[in-house]
Structure 1
Amino acid sequence: MKFAVQENLVPGSTFQEKVDNLQSLGYDGVELRGDGLAGRVGEIRRALEDSGVSATCVCGGYKFGLLFPDKGERAQARDQIRTLLSLAAEVRAQGLILVPIFGPPRLPDLSPWRTSEQLEEELLVEQLGELAEYAGTQGTQLILEPLNRYETHFVRRIEQAVQLCQRVASPHMTVLADVFHMNIEEASIPDALRGAKSWLGYVHLADSNRLLPGMGHIDFAAVFAALSEIAYGGWMSLECGVPEGGGEALGQSLRFMQSLLPNE
């Protein structure tokens, strides 16, 4: 298991400074913003070269419109996702985090034939198949992230994301487990992680209050134990609030998390 931080959480006025700070703090990776990524590829590659820090994946930067009723908006979202998958390959990142939709449904309820969510699932699976195939041509992955009831109505539990991956049946798709969202939606975070098994390919870390691990009440020892049980060896990236004195706080949180890792 490797620890990373979203780039916007890291102290530094340039990307190079952020990478240097991550290296000095002991982190292995940096999660990249998708916004403006095309213009930063050279800078990112230069900063990461021989640094010991790797790009983990790309987060955001596209229209969350795969489940919008307008055909043009869906096509625009797919185009942007394909571009970001290509850019992820250029910086040697695993892939792109994919959130199907924020907020309420945009598609109509056509009951008794199909509910809005049934329509969304069929539409999403059709598009995911196409996008996963493209990801494979780039050597990258679609990383499907469930959220929580306050952020979306659709795909809120790990089990639901796994079922979508099983329907698409592509090696170029995987599931992201975000422990902050899981603390809201899952009956048991460790059981949900164990249930994901081979589909689990990325982890977001934040405590119950969405601050750094160790600043809330999530049982991270149990989280790491479950990940160890399923032999998870992928990225674990911080997506959370960082208090003042960001560098010191990031270092303290890393040492806290490392102290909880099972002996292997």
Structure 2
Amino acid sequence: MKIHYQVATPEVTKSPNVTSMQGDIYENIDKLKRYGYDGVELMVRDTDLIDQERIISYIKDKEMNISMICTGEVYGEDGLTLTSSKKEIRKEAIKRLKKLINFAEKCRANLNIGRVRGFYCEELLENETEEFAINSLRELCEYAENKGVSILMEPVTRLQTNFINSTKDGIEFCQKVKKDNFKLMLDIYHMNIEDPCILKSLKEARDYVKHVHFADNNRRILGNCGMDFKNILKTLKEIEYEGVISLEIFQIPNQDVAAKKSIEYLKTIMEE
């Protein structure tokens, strides 16, 4: 399994407790290459504001891959969701995500759907929210299909949204969307909060999981807080997972230490 790290593109605003490397993207790519990472996933807010070709070319020249285009700040900074009660916001969210799909195609990567899916709200009935999400995601999957891009839903803890929290929720939603290129990104940190058993959930999701996020219990450097990564890795091998392990962690005490120490720990246990 390849090891990747999350890196923000330049238009993503720096904020406290970020979970992606920020600052000069080219310097960050150089550092990750030196630390031993095989590639990156990119946190992108707006493709109109970045030099797409230069970023792709630079990463390729380092003999690294891009596995995922993450969309967290499409909601985090711009407030766009697929299930907003306001039609113009839903429309703008789809427009923005289609541009990100175009970028994912150039990167030969997939697209993550996290908080941009939205949440249950007082203005809409729950079935209306689900209908907006299903219809929008089907449209995005159809747009992405001929581009070789999969749309990956990430179940996220209820501390961040009240819509699709557990792995079970994610599997059931895949069955509702009914698109071959609609699968799951599973995040060990979120699973640890929402799922009764991470290992059992991984086995149940074996036909759906295409990307995995690693972070320790406190979302910091791997190996500092007791997450059972050895058995998680063993289970991933058992279900014949051949995708990427990508690190999405708080950049504490700083992003260089977080990235370097985490891959050192992960490589050590992978070799055991």
Q: CA deviation at 1:258?
A: 2.2
Report the equivalent of 1:185: 194
2:40 aligned with 1:30: yes
1:76 to 65, 74, 92: 92
- The whole-number CA distance in structure 1 between the counterparts of 2:269 and 2:127 is 41
Q: CA deviation at 1:100?
A: 4.9
Report the equivalent of 1:20: 30
> CA, structure 1 residues 262+132, in 2 after alignment: closer, same or farther (shift >3 Å)?
farther
- Assess if the C-alpha contact under 8 Å between 2:119 and 2:129 holds in 1: no
Instruction: Tell me the number of residue pairs that the alignment of Structure 1 and Structure 2 aligns.
Output: 255
2:205 aligned with 1:196: yes
- CA deviations 1:37-90 (Å, max 9, x no partner) are 332212212211231211121112534421111222111111111111111112
Q: CA deviation at 1:122?
A: 2.5
- Assess if the C-alpha contact under 8 Å between 1:243 and 1:249 holds in 2: yes
> CA, structure 1 residues 10+65, in 2 after alignment: closer, same or farther (shift >3 Å)?
closer
SS of the residue aligned with 1:197? coil
2:56 aligned with 1:56: no
SS of the residue aligned with 1:198? coil
SS of the residue aligned with 1:7? strand
Q: CA deviation at 1:157?
A: 0.5
- The whole-number CA distance in structure 2 between the counterparts of 1:224 and 1:217 is 14
Report the equivalent of 1:128: 137
What are the within-5 Å matches in structure 2 for residues 70-149 of structure 1? 70-102=86-118, 104-108=120-124, 116-149=125-158
SS of the residue aligned with 1:156? coil
Taking structure 1 as the reference length, the TM-score comes to 0.88
> CA, structure 1 residues 179+2, in 2 after alignment: closer, same or farther (shift >3 Å)?
same
- The whole-number CA distance in structure 2 between the counterparts of 1:234 and 1:251 is 21
Report the equivalent of 2:53: 42
> CA, structure 1 residues 177+258, in 2 after alignment: closer, same or farther (shift >3 Å)?
same
- CA deviations 1:17-51 (Å, max 9, x no partner) are 22111111111111112124332212212211231
What are the within-5 Å matches in structure 2 for residues 152-171 of structure 1? 152-171=161-180
Q: CA deviation at 1:103?
A: 5.6
- Assess if the C-alpha contact under 8 Å between 1:99 and 1:144 holds in 2: no
- The whole-number CA distance in structure 2 between the counterparts of 1:232 and 1:196 is 10
- Assess if the C-alpha contact under 8 Å between 2:192 and 2:198 holds in 1: yes
- The whole-number CA distance in structure 2 between the counterparts of 1:106 and 1:78 is 22
- The whole-number CA distance in structure 2 between the counterparts of 1:262 and 1:104 is 43
SS of the residue aligned with 1:147? coil
Q: Runs (4+) of structure 1 moved beyond 3 Å?
A: 8-11, 96-104
Aligned AA (1:55): I
Range that drifts further, 175-184 or 165-174: 165-174
Cα RMSD for the two superposed structures:
2.1
- Assess if the C-alpha contact under 8 Å between 1:103 and 1:151 holds in 2: no
- Assess if the C-alpha contact under 8 Å between 1:69 and 1:106 holds in 2: no
Structure 1 gaps of 5+ residues are: 109-115
Aligned AA (2:26): Q
Taking structure 2 as the reference length, the TM-score comes to 0.86
Q: CA deviation at 1:248?
A: 4.0
SS of the residue aligned with 1:83? helix
- The whole-number CA distance in structure 2 between the counterparts of 1:33 and 1:41 is 13
SS of the residue aligned with 2:155? coil
- CA deviations 1:211-249 (Å, max 9, x no partner) are 021121211112111111111111111111132353344
- Assess if the C-alpha contact under 8 Å between 1:58 and 1:97 holds in 2: no
Structure 2 gaps of 5+ residues are: 9-19
> CA, structure 1 residues 121+102, in 2 after alignment: closer, same or farther (shift >3 Å)?
closer
SS of the residue aligned with 1:233? coil
